């Protein structure tokens, strides 16, 4: 007989109240199941006396009052090893792609501790994305945490999918994709794109989409982190960790907090907001065994960057790629907000003198452009001085140049995708800043690759 056993007394939404009848009590986060139905999965979240409040991780329709449950003596584990590469699985490592059963040799704890400081490592190797705006404005290092931040419909998922396409083909390591609370079709599209690009065999996909309950969506990000840690620590590989969407992870935690009756904090967020984010983000770090480079989309509710949930996530990021609705409305993709996007890597030591000097010069020109834009809107460009007109148009040409067609949107746009090396982007922008293309209209720079390939 199991050491822990009891009976379900009530089920409210995704929370089941269990009366413990054994002498031993379950530990926090222990999984309970039913001897009559092994598909029942409950996770002990909180205990008061002989009463346990459990999160329902399985189909809620299988639960009823009076159902007997027993302890398993274990927390959530995801069945995973190298066999996960090229497959789509759920929170428990069960295949979701219709490609047959998996026979993994290992089970990984979903909950693990942050690596100790004596094994944490930092790399200063630049990771090229082939996307001009990202490589020039917000350069990325291997092992960084990068957030693609924006409201609905500004191209977050498209941008992260393009980076998956560009980076993983040249990358020697492995990739993990965590789908947290996003659309089901996006998981299907990602699977098809990775398959067509012939990089699926280097990627593990763990999904907890928006049709899943909040408890599953909340835990699936932790399960994906465990897989990334296995690739890093056991296989000693460099890992690319993609997550779409980090805000949905926060949102799922908020839903669970409300269900459990916790007192809300600022703007109705859960009081454990910072702890929950750090429990995930702090695990996704580089060690002496290998690196984990994290790229995550972050949804902004009501386009409000000061939202506490978004601000809490941004505190953990090395690079914030902010996507703007006003830029997207101009037809400029990727729709980077060139002012609000930022990176900790903007130093001469990391990106080199040439890139740093070009970026500083462009930032100064962009500030002038934004001031002149107000005048142009009111009285027209012709009212500017001759020199101001020249500078205004140079800035406009660089802004247009930083747009580019993507490989993953070729079917929708009819434009062939391009990959532009970072050094080429820097050299091209230097030429524009130097006035070499002053006689060419700004519109000619839209959706181009390098200037050498552009048809003027």
Active site residues: 156, 182-183
In 3D space, the residue among 88, 63, 62 whose CA is nearest the CA of residue 208 turns out to be: 88
Q: What is the CA radius of gyration of the chain?
A: 25
Tokens of 216: 């599953």
**Residue 186, phi then psi, degrees to nearest 5:** -65, -35
Sign of the four-CA dihedral 240, 243, 246, 252: negative
DSSP bridge pairs for 10 = 17
- For the purposes of burial, counting CB atoms within 10 Å of the CB of 411, is it exposed (0-12), middle (13-18) or buried (19 or more)? exposed
248 SS3 class: helix
Length of the chain: 456
Query: Which single residue is written with the structure tokens 């050491």?
Result: 3
Angle CA(313)–CA(317)–CA(310) in degrees, nearest 5? Answer: 25
285 SS3 class: coil
Q: 208, 90 in Cβ contact below 8 A? A: yes
In 3D space, the residue among 394, 391, 393 whose CA is nearest the CA of residue 429 turns out to be: 394
Rounded CA separation 203/168 (Å): 9
Rounded CA separation 293/81 (Å): 20
How far is residue 212 CA from its own chain's centroid?
19
- For the purposes of burial, counting CB atoms within 10 Å of the CB of 412, is it exposed (0-12), middle (13-18) or buried (19 or more)? exposed
Rounded CA separation 59/14 (Å): 10
In 3D space, the residue among 165, 234, 194 whose CA is nearest the CA of residue 86 turns out to be: 194
Q: 439, 394 in Cβ contact below 8 A? A: no
Q: 228, 111 in Cβ contact below 8 A? A: no
- For the purposes of burial, counting CB atoms within 10 Å of the CB of 124, is it exposed (0-12), middle (13-18) or buried (19 or more)? exposed
């Amino acid at each position: 007989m199991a050491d822990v056993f009891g009976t379900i007394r009530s089920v409210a939404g995704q929370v089941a109240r269990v009366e413990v009848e054994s002498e031993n009590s379950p530990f926090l986060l222990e999984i309970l199941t039913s001897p009559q139905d092994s598909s029942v999965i409950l996770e002990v979240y909180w205990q008061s006396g002989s009463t346990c409040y459990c999160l329902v991780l399985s189909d809620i329709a299988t639960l009823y009052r009076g159902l007997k449950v027993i302890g398993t003596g274990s927390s959530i584990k995801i069945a995973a090893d190298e066999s996960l590469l090229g497959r789509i699985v759920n929170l428990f490592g069960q295949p979701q792609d219709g490609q047959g059963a998996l026979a993994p040799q290992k089970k990984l704890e979903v909950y693990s501790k942050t690596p100790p400081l004596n094994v944490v490592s930092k790399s200063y190797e630049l990771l090229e994305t082939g996307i001009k705006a990202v490589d020039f404005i917000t350069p990325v290092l291997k092992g960084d945490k990068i957030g693609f931040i924006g409201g609905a419909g500004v191209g977050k998922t498209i941008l992260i999918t393009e980076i998956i396409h560009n980076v993983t083909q040249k990358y020697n390591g492995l990739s993990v994709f965590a789908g947290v609370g996003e659309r089901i079709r996006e998981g299907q599209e990602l699977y098809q794109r990775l398959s067509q690009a012939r990089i699926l065999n280097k990627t593990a996909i763990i999904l907890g989409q928006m049709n899943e309950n909040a408890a599953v969506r909340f835990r699936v990000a932790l399960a994906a982190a465990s897989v990334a840690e296995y690739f890093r620590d056991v296989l000693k590989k460099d890992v690319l960790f993609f997550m779409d969407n980090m805000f949905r992870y926060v949102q799922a935690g908020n839903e669970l907090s409300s269900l459990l009756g916790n007192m809300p904090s600022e703007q109705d967020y859960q009081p454990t907001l910072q702890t929950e984010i750090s429990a995930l983000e702090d695990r996704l770090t580089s060690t002496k065994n290998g690196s984990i480079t994290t790229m995550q989309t972050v949804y902004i509710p009501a386009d409000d960057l000061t939202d506490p949930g978004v601000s809490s996530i941004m505190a953990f990021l090395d690079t914030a790629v902010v996507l703007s609705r006003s830029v997207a409305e101009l037809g400029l993709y990727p729709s980077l907000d060139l002012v609000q996007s930022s990176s900790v890597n903007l130093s001469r030591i990391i990106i080199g003198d040439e890139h740093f000097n070009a970026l500083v010069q462009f930032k100064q020109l962009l500030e002038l452009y934004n001031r002149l834009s107000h005048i142009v809107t009111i009285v027209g460009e012709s009212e500017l001085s001759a020199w101001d007109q020249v500078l205004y148009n140079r800035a406009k040409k660089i802004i247009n140049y930083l747009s580019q067609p993507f490989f993953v949107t070729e079917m929708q746009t009819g434009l062939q995708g391009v990959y532009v090396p970072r050094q080429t982007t820097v050299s091209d922008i230097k030429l524009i800043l130097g006035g070499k293309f002053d006689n060419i209209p700004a519109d000619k720079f839209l959706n181009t690759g390098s200037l050498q390939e552009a048809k003027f």
